[in-house]
A and B are shown apart, each in its own frame.
Chain A
Amino acid sequence: MSHMKELTKGLFKENPTFIIMLGMCPTLSVSTQVSNALGMGVAVIFVLTCSNIFISMLRKVIPDSIRIPSYIVIIASFVTVVEMVMHAFVPAIYEALGVYLPLIVVNCIILGRAEAFAGKNGVLDSALDGIGMGIGFTMSLSFIALIREVIGAGTITLFPIGSFSGTITLPGLSASPVRVMTLAAGALLLMGYLKAFFTWKSTKGGKA
């Protein structure tokens, strides 16, 4: 399998959110604003890539009987690192992500890729798998957040740069938003529609 395939499979073909259906908890909870989704995505890319590399390096050293505790220790360490760095240097994103940042430890994507891929493959492929899956997760999360925020609040929240406040307000929608989209029920509804769309799309593609 080519290295490029390891990198790109997480984007669409094995997208962790829409195809493998992993990491649903942060997907549904953090996708209320685009900036939160991007912040969470960057944190997951870092943790996923670093933990995949570390676990792949140690795969022949870690006894099979303690592989899960070892993976958890490694993943928790990188989550702690990313939490401390975000708290120090991007406190606004750290505050916005709240409890979901430390909960990356139990994100199924991280442990899933460690168990299914990094524990059985080389360092380079594991790193590319982590980057690809992380980017795929970030894309999905940002896409869901964009739809939820636009419909549910009539805004698009990015990051303030210079004179740009970071928030784009959409006239009309911001005055009378569909508030249920910002709630958990709206997230579940949207996720159901998107999953149905991607399943239909992949089935149709398979027949063609």
Chain B
Amino acid sequence: MTRYIKTAVTLFLISAVCTLLCAIVNNMTAPVIAMNNENDRVAALSAVSTGLTIGEEMEGDGGAVGYSIPLTDDSGALAGYILGLTANGYGGAMDIIASYAVDGSVMAAKLTTNSETPGIGKKAENDWYMEMFKGLGADSPIPVTKNDLPSEQSALVSGASVTFSGVTSALRAGSDYVKSLGGAV
């Protein structure tokens, strides 16, 4: 019995010391991580706003659209929306920030938080990747699979079909959401 108690206490003490170490490091790094995340978010919002004025954040549809932010032009008229989208990738959930015109066409998009495979799925972080969807969503549909892309673009996303499907399904959901708003704020 004593041997079991001694073993349990030893493992408990080791775990306690390790937990303390993690807590100390977390205390030092958490504010820096929060600040980095906020800076990234602001930079992403600014990048996809395409020069339009960013309004107040509102709740999304509770599904793929986490939040929406109206965009207005210089005259104050509604010119589009920024949506915070959630997609399913190869490495789990992915966050996408995308801007849409009022008709539901993609103006710009950026993949932010993700755990995609380095060098493969992570290619979706590049600007050229999201450029493929620019202007799509209104008259021209957003592609469902890489087979819907021209051959040179299809080759670029080769090897990362799950990431591609995740991104396109989220962008389609965003486009549908914007269309459902019908130009309302």
Contact = CB atoms under 8 A, between A and B. Distances in A.
A189 interface: no
A183 B18 CA distance: 37
A58 B122 CA distance: 40
Contacts of B159: 179, 182-183
B153 to A, nearest CB: 14
Interface in A25-58: 29-30, 32-33, 36, 58
**Which bracket fits the contact residues of A?**
35 or more
A88 B7 contact: no
Contacts of B22: 77, 80-81, 84
A172 interface: no
A96 B114 CA distance: 9
Nearest to A148: B119
A74 B115 CA distance: 25
B7 A96 contact: no
Given A84-B26, A85-B29, A33 B119 contact: yes
Given A32-B119, A33-B119, A84 B6 contact: no
B7 A65 contact: yes
Provide the main secondary structure of the chain B interface.
helix
Nearest to A79: B22
Given A74-B18, A84-B26, A183 B120 contact: yes
A62 to B, nearest CB: 7
Interface in A70-84: 70, 73-74, 76-77, 80-81, 84
A177 B101 CA distance: 37
A78 B33 CA distance: 18
Contacts of A182: 119-120, 159
Contacts of A74: 14, 18
B117 A98 contact: yes
Most buried by A among B19, B30, B92, B118: B118
B119 A81 contact: no
Nearest to A183: B159
Interface in B107-140: 114-120, 122, 125
A103 to B, nearest CB: 11
Contacts of B30: 84
A98 B122 contact: yes
A191 to B, nearest CB: 16
Interface residues of B, number: 34
A86 to B, nearest CB: 9
A124 to B, nearest CB: 21
A90 B122 CA distance: 17
Contacts of A66: 7, 10-11
A97 interface: yes
B91 interface: yes
Contacts of B36: 87-88, 91
Nearest to A86: B29
A160 B116 CA distance: 22
19 contacts: A32-B117, A58-B14, A62-B14, A63-B10, A73-B18, A81-B25, A84-B30, A84-B33, A87-B33, A87-B36, A88-B28, A88-B29, A96-B122, A98-B91, A99-B115, A100-B118, A182-B119, A182-B120, A183-B120
List of 6 A-B pairs having minimum Cβ-Cβ separation, nearest first? A32-B119, A77-B18, A88-B29, A88-B32, A84-B29, A98-B115
